[in-house]
Chains A and B, each alone.
Chain A
Amino acid sequence: MNAARTVGAGTGAVAPGSPSSDAPALRARGLHVRHQKADYDAVRDLDLTVRTGEILALVGPNGSGKSTALAALGRGIAARQGSVLLGEGDVWERSARVFARSVARLPQSAEAPEGLAVEELVASGRHAHLPWLGALGPEDRAAMREALRAVDVLDLRMRKVETLSGGERRRAWLAMVLCQQAPILLLDEPTAALDLRHQHELLGLLKDLNRTRGVTIVVVLHDVEHAAMLADRIAVLHRGRLYDVGPPAECITASMLQDVFGVEARITTEDGRLVVRVLGTADPGRHL
C-alpha cells in the first residue's frame, strides 16, 4: 500500500534509533487468566506494561504463567478478570484482522496440515494485509521473501512443512509471524529447538528489528542469560504472579533465582555479559 510497509513499520512503531519510549504498547491491568478446564488461574492479578519500542522478556520456571500471560497479551486467550489494552482500547475491541496488523504472535506449539509447503504457510502471515477476497501481491511476496531470508528458510520454501526438522519448522513459523509485519511481536520461546547458530542469529535478528525498525518485542525465554542479553527489561513470573520487573541487571539476582527457580546460583559478568552459574538446588520460595 505504501513505502512504509517493511518489516515492523506501521502504526505504533517509533522512529529508528530511539530504543524505547514510555508510551505503552500493551498494558495488562489486574489480569486473571484461567484455562478452559483448569480450576485455578494460570495468571493472577497481573499488572504489566509493555513500553513501545522495548524488548521485554518474560522469564520464570515451568508453569509460572509466562505463555498464558503472553497469549492473553495477544488476545489468544480471554481474561477471566481484568483487561489488556492496546494503546487506548481493549484488545478484544477490534476485529482479529485489525489486531493482527498491530500484533503478531508466535504460539508455543503450532500445527500445520499435512502437505502444506513452507511458502504457503508463510503466506498465511499476510492475511491481515490482504482484502478479504484478494490474492498475494508483489509487496506481499517481497515481505515473504524478506521474512524467509531473515530466518534462513528461503531454500526450504518449496518443502512440505512436515518434512522439516523441528528447528527448521520453528523457523518456518517464525517467518510466517515476521511477514505479518506488525509493530508488536509476541514470541513464545522462539529459540526452542533451534541449534546454536540459529539461536544466535535469531537473537541478533530480534535485536536488529527492535533497534533499526522500532519493533516492540515481548518474548518468553527459558534461558535467563539469553533474556539478559536481549531484553531491555525482564518480567519475572512466579506461580502466575509478577515477581519483579526491571532491567536485567536489577532483576536477575541470586535471591530471585533462589525464590523463583529454586536454585543456588552465582551471577557474574564476563565481557559485559551476564553469566549464571547454577551451583545446586535450593529451597524455592524461602524468602516469600
Chain B
Amino acid sequence: MRPLARLGLRLRRLSELPGFWAVVLSATLLAAAVVASVLGAAALPAIEVPWALVDSSHPAHGILWQVRLPRIAIGMIVGATLGVSGALMQAVVRNPLADPGIMGVTAGAGLGGLLGIVLWPTTPALVPALAFAGGLVAIAVVLVAASSGTRVLGPLRIVLSGVAMQAILFSLIALVTFFFADRAPAFVSFTIGSLAGLGWPDAGRALVPAVLGIGIALLTTRTLNLLLLDDDSAGGVGLPVRRVRIAASCVAALLAASAASAAGLVGFVGLIVPNWVRVTVGPDHRVLIPLSVLGGATLVVVADTAARTLAGPLELPVGALLALIGGPYFLTVLWRKIA
C-alpha cells in the first residue's frame, strides 16, 4: 500500500507539470489515430497498419489513404482549431465558460451554410465558403454593436451583444429550416456537425486558417496573459486592451468559422478543452494554447472514431456525441465549483 500511495503522490505532483500533459495527450492522440485507422467497416489488424500504409497492393491501402487518414487529419485540425478558438474567446471575455459560439460565430456560420444549401443546392462547394463568411460577418456585427463610440470594449458588452446576435441568427436558422423542410437531411448533418465523407481537399482547406490562427495564438501567448488581468491593470502595464481584444476575437472567429466550414457546427470542443486545461495546469497561455491544440485534436479524433464505430454500420454525428460528453463535463465543473 505504501509504495502505491507514494506513487499516487508522485503522479499528482507530476500531473501539475505541463510537460506531463503534453506527453500524455500526444500519446493519446497517437493511439487514437492508430485505433481510428484500424476500426471501421473493413477490418484491419493494427499490426498491418504500417504495412498497408506503404504497400499499394495491400487491400486496405486505398481505404486507409482515401478514407480513414484524411478523416483523422481533418478531425485533428478541427479539434485543434476549436480548442484554440475557445481558449482565445475565454481570454477575450475573461470568462472560463465562454466558447466560440458566444460571439455568434457558430450561429453565423450555421446560417451561412444553410443559405448555401438552400440557394445553390447544386454547388455543395459553396457551403463551407458561405459558412466561413457567415461566421466572420456575425463577429463583425457583434464587435461593432459591442463598441459603441469611444467606450472601452468590455467583456460583458461583448457577451451580451454575442448572445443577442446568437438569438437572432438561430431564429433565422429556424425559419430557413422551416421553409425548406424538404432539404432537412442536408441541414441536419451540417448543424449537428460531422466529419463523414471528408477528404484530403477538405483537410487542406481547413489547414490554412488553422495554421495561421493557431500560429498567431502561439506567438502572442504573453500578450494573451495580460488580457486576463482587469482592463485597468492591463492598460497600465502598456497593453492596448481594446485593440488586442478585437484582434484576439477576430482570430478566434477565423478559427471557429474555418472549423464550422469544414465539419459543420461541432459544439463543446471549444468550451471543454481549454476549460479542462485551465483547471489542470492553470491559466498561463504559454501552456494553455499548446495543450488546447493537443487536447482538441485528441478529443475530436476519439469522438469521431466512436461516432462511426459505436452503432455498427450506422454513423452517429460526432457533434451529437461531443455534446453528450460536453454536457456532463460542464455539470461536473459547476458541481465542483459549488462544492
A220 to B145, CA, bound (A): 36
Known: A76-B235, A177-B236. 13 other contacts (CB 8 A): A71-B232, A96-B235, A100-B236, A111-B230, A112-B229, A113-B94, A113-B283, A114-B283, A124-B234, A124-B237, A128-B238, A132-B223, A176-B237
Using a Cβ cutoff of 8 Å, how many contacts connect chains A and B? 84
In residues 247-303 of chain B, which contact A (Cβ within 8 Å)?
278, 282-284
In residues 30-77 of chain A, which contact B (Cβ within 8 Å)?
36, 71, 74-76
- Whether a CB of chain A sits under 8 angstroms from the CB of B239 is yes
* Complex contact A100–B237 (CB within 8 A): yes
Number of residues from B at the complex interface, CB < 8 A: 26
Which A residues touch B230, using CB under 8 A?
107, 109-111
Contact of A107 among B222, B225, B236 (CB under 8 A): B236
A–B pairs, 28, beta carbons within 8 Å:
A71-B232, A74-B236, A76-B235, A95-B238, A96-B235, A97-B238, A100-B236, A100-B237, A106-B236, A107-B232, A107-B236, A110-B230, A111-B230, A112-B228, A113-B94, A113-B228, A114-B283, A115-B282, A116-B284, A120-B225, A121-B229, A124-B234, A124-B237, A127-B226, A128-B238, A133-B219, A176-B237, A177-B236
* Complex contact A107–B237 (CB within 8 A): no
Contact of B233 among A110, A117, A130, A133 (CB under 8 A): A110
* Complex contact B238–A100 (CB within 8 A): yes
Closest to B280 in A: A115
- Whether a CB of chain B sits under 8 angstroms from the CB of A202 is no
Closest to B220 in A: A133
Which A residues touch B234, using CB under 8 A?
124
* Complex contact A110–B219 (CB within 8 A): no
Contact of A96 among B151, B225, B228, B238 (CB under 8 A): B238
A106 to B237, CA, bound (A): 10
A77 to B29, CA, bound (A): 48
**A interface, how many residues as a size bin?**
35 or more
Centre residue among B229, B235, B236 by max chain A CB count within 10 A: B236
- Whether a CB of chain B sits under 8 angstroms from the CB of A180 is yes
Contact of A36 among B151, B220, B225, B278 (CB under 8 A): B151
* Complex contact B284–A127 (CB within 8 A): no
* Complex contact B233–A135 (CB within 8 A): no
A130 to B247, CA, bound (A): 19
- Whether a CB of chain B sits under 8 angstroms from the CB of A105 is yes
Centre residue among A114, A115, A128, A130 by max chain B CB count within 10 A: A115
* Complex contact A101–B235 (CB within 8 A): no
* Complex contact A116–B283 (CB within 8 A): yes
* Complex contact B235–A78 (CB within 8 A): no
- Whether a CB of chain B sits under 8 angstroms from the CB of A99 is yes
- Whether a CB of chain A sits under 8 angstroms from the CB of B240 is yes
* Complex contact B240–A97 (CB within 8 A): yes
Which B residues touch A107, using CB under 8 A?
230, 232-233, 236
A258 to B241, CA, bound (A): 42
- Whether a CB of chain B sits under 8 angstroms from the CB of A190 is no
Which A residues touch B219, using CB under 8 A?
133
A248 to chain B, nearest CB (A): 28
- Whether a CB of chain B sits under 8 angstroms from the CB of A104 is yes
B267 to chain A, nearest CB (A): 25
* Complex contact A127–B239 (CB within 8 A): yes
- Whether a CB of chain B sits under 8 angstroms from the CB of A183 is no
Contact of B240 among A74, A78, A96 (CB under 8 A): A96
In residues 106-151 of chain A, which contact B (Cβ within 8 Å)?
106-107, 109-117, 120-121, 124-125, 127-128, 130, 132-133, 135
Closest 9 A/B residue pairs (Cβ): A100-B238, A128-B238, A115-B282, A113-B228, A97-B238, A111-B230, A107-B232, A105-B236, A96-B240
Closest to B240 in A: A96
Centre residue among B229, B230, B232, B239 by max chain A CB count within 10 A: B232
Closest to A36 in B: B151
- Whether a CB of chain A sits under 8 angstroms from the CB of B122 is no
A104 to B37, CA, bound (A): 56
A98 to B238, CA, bound (A): 7
Which A residues touch B223, using CB under 8 A?
127, 132
